[in-house]
Amino acid sequence: MDPPLTKLPTQTAQRPVWKSWNEVPRDVDEVARHGPWFLEIFSGTARLTAAVRALGVPCLPPIDITVCQEVPSPFDVMDCDNWSFIMKLIACGAIKFIHFGTPCNSFSAARKEDGGPPPLRSEKFPEGFPDLEGLNLAIATLGNFFAERTVEAAEAIVRAGGDFSIENPRWSLLWCTIWIRRPMREARTFQVDFDQCAFSAASMKPTRILLSHQRLQ
């Protein structure tokens, strides 16, 4: 039997509402004292964070490099100091659930030899074709880096007693990589496949979410 899914508390008047990482104290103990928190990494427009916050769950500011209404300041996961701070928050139990919208552009099955962006990977070479060079190599390498960051944090939050979810297109080659296969094996993950049109998306958009807890199915 799976252990109970981590229950995040509801927001209280005493808990701060930090909308930007510029507002979050760089003191792990101080942040943890007000937790536990929900966090969205590679959030895009951060609609999930907005929805979770609307339920009264305390949320840390969503993490993305692109500024938008819900992401008032950029947060670069490639910055070692930024990432070290997040990993410390995870290790001390300050964060109890992370959702990753890991960038899928280099893993996309939509990349074909049709005059558009060329394929960079295949099921045989999900980490990238061995003959990539120039810009294509740079794009694949960046995608691999984001995948590694995703797995590093996902494995850490499971060790700390929390849970995670990872979202990508259903046919993304991310699911075939050595990095994603590791938590799939070690954390006993579960997969949920669905079409986003069933939830008011404008297109079918087949999607897969990898989950660390069966209840989330």
According to DSSP, residue 59 is labeled B
In a domain, 172, yes or no: yes
The predicted-structure confidence for 179-188, as pLDDT tens digits, reads as follows 998 877 777 8
In this prediction, residue 37 carries a pLDDT of 98
pLDDT confidence of 196, banded at 50, 70, 90? confident
Average pLDDT, the chain: 91
pLDDT above 90 as % of the chain: 74
* Residue 128 confidence (pLDDT): 96
**Which tokens hold the place of 80?**
């070692």
Residue 2 lies in a domain: no
Sequence-distant (≥ 6) Cβ neighbours of residue 40 within 8 angstroms: 46, 48, 49, 52, 59, 62, 63, 98, 99, 100, 101
Q: Is residue 183 part of a domain?
A: yes
Q: What is the CATH number of the domain that holds 60?
A: 3.40.50.150
Residue 200's domain comprises 28-216
CB 44 within 8 A of CB 103: no
Higher pLDDT residue, 63 or 199?
63
pLDDT at 5: 60
Q: Please give the average per-residue pLDDT across 32-39, as a whole number.
A: 96
Return the residue matching tokens 């927001």. 11
Q: Is residue 148 part of a domain?
A: yes
Question: Residue 128 falls within a domain, yes or no?
Answer: yes
Main-chain dihedrals φ then ψ at residue 132, nearest 5 degrees: -65, 145
Is the predicted pLDDT of residue 1 greater than 50, yes or no? no
Residue 3, domain member (yes or no): no
Q: Work out the pLDDT band at 2, boundaries 50, 70, 90.
A: low
Q: Tell me the pTM.
A: 0.90
Residue 186 structure tokens? 């070690």
What's the structural domain count of the chain? 1
Beta bridge partners, 163, equal: 97
The residue-averaged pLDDT of 15-26 equals 94
Higher local confidence (pLDDT), 55 or 188: 55
| Domain contains 187 | yes
Average pLDDT over residues 122-135: 96
- Decide if 5 is inside a domain: no
